[in-house]
């Protein structure tokens, strides 16, 4: 067995980089950016008025003037006007600052009568009040987004503000998820007492979608050697990444390691020093397809998918890696096997302190119902057995 760290490093080192393509901006949300996005203009591109009111010359106010003849009105989007000496211009939020003006007095602080605006007694203002200075957010040519960003709705605002109608992103990988086993029956189909519902495949598809890989497809193949070879060969020809669930342990019907070897998939490792998920298998296909064979127990499947498959897809897509996240254990934990423990947790709010992780102990690695409501899992080092309350541990959110 190799360690979890060695497994992680081996997977990422083996992953090829997915190609890039260009997509319209309205199709870019959730995709991974492969270009720099630079500011088309200064932001704001002019001295921007921040309040409805009047634009005045501050030096006149400072000298005691409180009543200003209204010269004109300037709305957002209107051409910039020239303020004549002694006057004011009625101004709207978002308009460019009139030439010659350097102070905005809010509409709530003025009274308009007989064509003039009078500022209320006792009002205090200052030069450049309620003016959003040109280029104070960023200057033209500034790099606003870098390659490796997963594009969010907020990033769409940035991209469109730069005048772009399309962007370069990582190609969406072709991913197939295969459930194996004679005992599996999909939801909605008649089921016998000796059979179980198929849950791993749909859960993996959902997890991939949650992380931005929503084009994955699912297949179910029974434990038949010839059928497994035929169908997996087809999937290998059509995919960038293959995720198999079940059939990877030591039983007589666990055909997958042999099938994958026969199909030219080179094993990188088989078995990881962890619980749950020790039997996990990883290899690289003849045309650089990544192949993950995950243990069939549901908790093992989901932990291995989140721990290894998602980072592999992120790396191949060029997603920038985030700093590790840590939490403090909310209660004592004892774990005796000399294996890395991936322990499901619920996060508990902590006022003024670290994030607290409340352990959720599953009955077995088949007890997937216990995972509902958990926020992720923590990583307990295999060198230790006792983890007191308050111990800082690595947190992996689902």
Q: What is the DSSP letter of 106?
A: E
**Among 255, 11, 287, CA closest to 244:** 255
Residues 84 and 195 in one domain: no
Final residue in a domain of this structure, among 132, 157, 181? 132
Final residue in a domain of this structure, among 272, 295, 317? 317
Instruction: State the helix-helix crossing angle for 4-14 and 310-317, rounded to 10 degrees.
Output: 30
Strands in 143-273 per DSSP E? 143-145, 166-170, 175-180, 184-185, 196-197, 217-221, 241-245, 266-270
Q: Which residue has the tokens 């298998």?
A: 281
pLDDT at 41 over 70: yes
Residues 165 and 176 in one domain: no
The model's confidence at residue 249, banded by pLDDT at 50, 70 and 90, is: low
The model's confidence at residue 257, banded by pLDDT at 50, 70 and 90, is: confident
**What tens digit of pLDDT does each residue of 319-370 get?**
999 999 999 999 999 988 899 999 999 999 877 888 999 999 888 777 889 9
Residues 192 and 296 in one domain: yes
* Residue 140 falls inside a structural domain: no
Determine phi and psi for 146, rounding to 5 degrees.
-115, 160
Domain holding 384, by residue range, is: 325-397
* Residue 137 falls inside a structural domain: no
Average pLDDT over residues 203-210: 97
Measured CA to CA, the distance from residue 81 to residue 138 in angstroms comes to 25
Task: Decide: helix, strand or coil at residue 210.
Answer: helix
* Residue 208 falls inside a structural domain: yes
CATH number at 166 reads 3.90.105.10
Residues 182 and 225 in one domain: yes
Average pLDDT over residues 92-113: 98
Residues 155 and 30 in one domain: yes
Instruction: For residue 349, count CB atoms less than 10 angstroms from its CB and return exposed for 0-12, middle for 13-18, buried for 19 or more.
Output: exposed
* Cα angle for residues 393, 394, 398 (degrees, 5° grid): 125
* Residue 371 falls inside a structural domain: yes
Cβ pair 33, 171 in contact under 8 A: no
Residues 64 and 102 in one domain: yes
CATH number at 389 reads 2.40.340.10
Average pLDDT over residues 273-300: 95
- pTM of the shown model: 0.88
* Residue 139 falls inside a structural domain: no
The total number of structural domains in the chain stands at: 4
Instruction: State the helix-helix crossing angle for 310-317 and 200-210, rounded to 10 degrees.
Output: 40
Average pLDDT over residues 99-124: 98
Measured CA to CA, the distance from residue 269 to residue 279 in angstroms comes to 10
Residues 181 and 290 in one domain: yes
**Among 65, 28, 316, CA closest to 160:** 28
* Residue 195 falls inside a structural domain: yes
**What tens digit of pLDDT does each residue of 183-206 get?**
999 999 999 999 999 999 999 999
Measured CA to CA, the distance from residue 194 to residue 186 in angstroms comes to 14
Residues 297 and 179 in one domain: yes
């Amino acid at each position: 067995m190799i360690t979890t760290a060695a497994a992680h490093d081996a997977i990422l080192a083996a992953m090829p980089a997915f190609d890039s393509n260009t997509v319209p901006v309205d199709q870019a949300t959730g995709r991974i950016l492969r270009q720099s996005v630079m500011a088309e203009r200064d932001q704001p591109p002019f001295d921007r008025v921040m309040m409805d009111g009047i634009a005045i010359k501050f030096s006149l106010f400072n000298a005691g003037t409180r009543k200003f003849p209204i010269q004109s009105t300037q709305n957002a989007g209107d051409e910039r006007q020239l303020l004549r000496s002694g006057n004011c211009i009625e101004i709207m939020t978002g308009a460019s600052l009139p030439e010659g003006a350097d102070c905005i007095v809010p509409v709530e602080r003025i009274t308009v009568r007989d064509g003039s605006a009078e500022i209320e007694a006792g009002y205090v203002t200052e030069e450049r009040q309620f003016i959003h200075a040109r280029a104070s957010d960023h200057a033209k040519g500034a790099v606003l987004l870098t390659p490796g960003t997963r594009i969010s709705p907020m990033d769409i605002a940035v991209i469109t503000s730069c005048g772009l109608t399309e962007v370069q992103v990582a190609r969406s990988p072709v991913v197939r998820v295969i459930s194996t086993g004679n005992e599996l029956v999909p939801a909605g189909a008649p089921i016998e007492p000796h059979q179980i519902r198929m849950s791993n495949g749909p859960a993996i598809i959902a997890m991939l979608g949650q992380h931005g890989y929503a084009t994955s497809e699912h297949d179910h193949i029974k434990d038949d050697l010839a059928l497994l070879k035929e169908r997996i060969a087809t999937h290998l020809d059509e995919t960038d990444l293959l995720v198999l669930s079940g059939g990877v342990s030591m039983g007589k019907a666990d055909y997958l390691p042999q099938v994958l070897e026969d199909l030219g998939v080179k094993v990188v490792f088989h078995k990881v020093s962890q619980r749950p998920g020790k039997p996990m298998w990883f290899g690289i296909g003849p045309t650089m397809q990544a192949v993950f064979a995950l243990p069939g127990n549901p908790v093992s499947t989901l932990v291995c998918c989140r721990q290894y498959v998602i980072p592999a897809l992120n790396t191949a897509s060029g997603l920038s890696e985030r700093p590790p996240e840590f939490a403090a254990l909310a209660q004592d934990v004892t774990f005796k096997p000399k294996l890395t423990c991936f322990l499901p947790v619920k996060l508990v709010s902590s006022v003024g302190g670290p994030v607290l992780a409340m352990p959720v102990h599953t009955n077995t690695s088949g007890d997937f119902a216990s995972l509902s409501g958990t926020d992720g899992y923590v990583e307990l080092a295999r060198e230790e057995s006792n983890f007191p309350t308050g111990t800082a541990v690595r947190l992996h959110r689902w």
